[in-house]
């Protein structure tokens, strides 16, 4: 298959996803039964975002043209995280676009979607079968892309040190507010916070707010997501964190579906959101620029010189060239 063939197959997959076929139903149910964080709604959000932002023919063509396809195909081991549905799809897509062979060890948290989608592509074009292999343990690989926690990354760095690799660690996303946000801005920010229950590295886990910020409107609008509390796992975390803060005499606010607390950490617990006050926006810009290696994306209406931001509501709708950790996966693959 040449690259045009592969683009055609990927765009066909995008059209198929957008058609919302009835045969998705068993996979949606199986995925939820296997991992209750993967609600039917959240799976559909992930599929829709992939189809609209990654698998459009013109987008794929424009994206691919920026890179030189390698002369030889290599076996690239892929170990995706399992925190949100189909989180490793972009890496897998890039490997296929560049004509390499992916050897995939799916997460036990998300074992169904990737094999199912690959099976559909092979049914449409059997030649594609040589590009994909699902394994329990990587072997014979010539490069690796692996994503996990800081702890697992240390293992990955040691185990895969002898081959070209991209090893991703924990990252978090933040939002910077100026206090002039509209209700629509806050409503969009709530998508950045609550989508996938906040489990993704692109979910906003901390907000920076000006001194004397009034939380009332934010908490009222965030309460529109109160249906999340009906989810058993989310509610358990919500209740546990309230008890934890009470026992430790940590000040907090809550609105029935999220707890907010002043905390300097970029990472927040499930069902919580950290905040930090700032007095000077330029000082804050310098502070954040020194922590960019820990940050996946920054949501804000304010423009900064030292880093880029994305609009409210877009953190979980990455475009095709929004590379995780800022590492150009296609460039890496083109040099193998």
The string of DSSP letters for 211-257 reads TT---HHHHHHHGGGGGGGGSHHHHHHHHHHHHHHHHTT---EE-SS
Residue 150 has pLDDT above 90, yes or no: no
Alpha helices in 35-88 (DSSP H): 40-53, 57-64
CATH number among 3.30.1390.20, 3.40.50.300, 3.40.605.10, 3.40.630.30, domain 3-170: 3.40.605.10
Tell me the mean pLDDT in the region 67-88: 96
For the chain, the residue count is: 336
pLDDT given at position 149: 87
Tell me the mean pLDDT in the region 262-274: 97
Domain 172-300 falls in which CATH fold? Aldehyde Dehydrogenase; Chain A, domain 2 (3.40.309)
**pLDDT, the chain, mean:** 96
The token duo for 70 is 């390698």
Q: Compute CA distances 22 → 83, 117, 196, whole Å.
A: 25, 14, 23
pLDDT given at position 115: 97
| 173-220 pLDDT, tens digit each | 999 999 999 999 999 999 999 999 999 999 999 999 999 899 999 999
Tell me the mean pLDDT in the region 276-289: 96
Residue 269 has pLDDT above 90, yes or no: yes
- Contacts (Cβ under 8 Å, ≥6 apart) of 159: none
Q: Which residues pair with 298 in a beta bridge?
A: 174
How many Å separate Cα 328 from the centre of its chain? 16
Residue located via tokens 């996966």 = 329
Eight-state DSSP code of residue 291? T
Q: What are the structural domain ranges in the chain?
A: 3-170, 172-300
């Amino acid at each position: 298959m040449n690259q045009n063939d592969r683009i055609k197959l990927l765009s066909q997959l995008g059209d198929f996803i957008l058609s919302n076929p009835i045969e998705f139903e068993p996979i949606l149910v199986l995925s939820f039964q296997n991992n209750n964080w993967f609600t039917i709604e959240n799976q559909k959000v992930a599929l829709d975002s992939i189809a609209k932002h990654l698998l459009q023919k013109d987008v794929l063509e424009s994206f691919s043209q920026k890179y030189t396809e390698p002369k030889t195909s290599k076996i690239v081991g892929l170990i995706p995280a399992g925190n949100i549905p189909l989180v490793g799809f972009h890496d897998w897509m890039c490997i296929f676009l560049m004509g390499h062979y992916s050897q995939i060890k799916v997460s036990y948290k998300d074992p169904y979607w990737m094999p199912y989608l690959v099976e559909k592509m092979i049914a449409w074009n059997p030649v594609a079968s040589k590009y994909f292999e699902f394994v329990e343990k990587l072997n014979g690989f010539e490069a690796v892309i692996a994503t996990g926690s800081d702890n697992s990354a240390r293992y990955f760095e040691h185990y895969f040190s002898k081959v070209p690799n991209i090893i991703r660690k924990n990252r978090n996303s933040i939002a910077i507010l100026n206090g002039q946000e509209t209700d629509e801005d806050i409503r969009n920010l709530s998508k950045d916070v609550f989508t996938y229950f906040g489990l993704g590295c692109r979910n906003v886990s901390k907000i920076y707010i000006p001194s004397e910020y009034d939380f009332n409107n934010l908490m009222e609008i965030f309460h529109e997501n109160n249906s999340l509390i009906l989810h058993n796992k989310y509610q358990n975390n919500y209740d546990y964190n309230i008890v934890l803060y009470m026992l430790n005499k940590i000040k907090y606010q809550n609105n029935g579906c999220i707890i907010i607390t002043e905390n300097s950490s970029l990472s927040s617990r499930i069902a919580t959101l950290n905040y930090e006050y700032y007095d000077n926006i330029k000082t804050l810009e310098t502070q954040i620029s020194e922590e960019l290696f820990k940050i996946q994306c920054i949501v804000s209406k304010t423009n900064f010189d030292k880093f880029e931001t994305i609009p409210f509501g877009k953190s979980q709708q990455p475009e095709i060239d929004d590379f995780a950790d800022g590492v150009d996966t296609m460039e890496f693959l083109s040099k193998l």
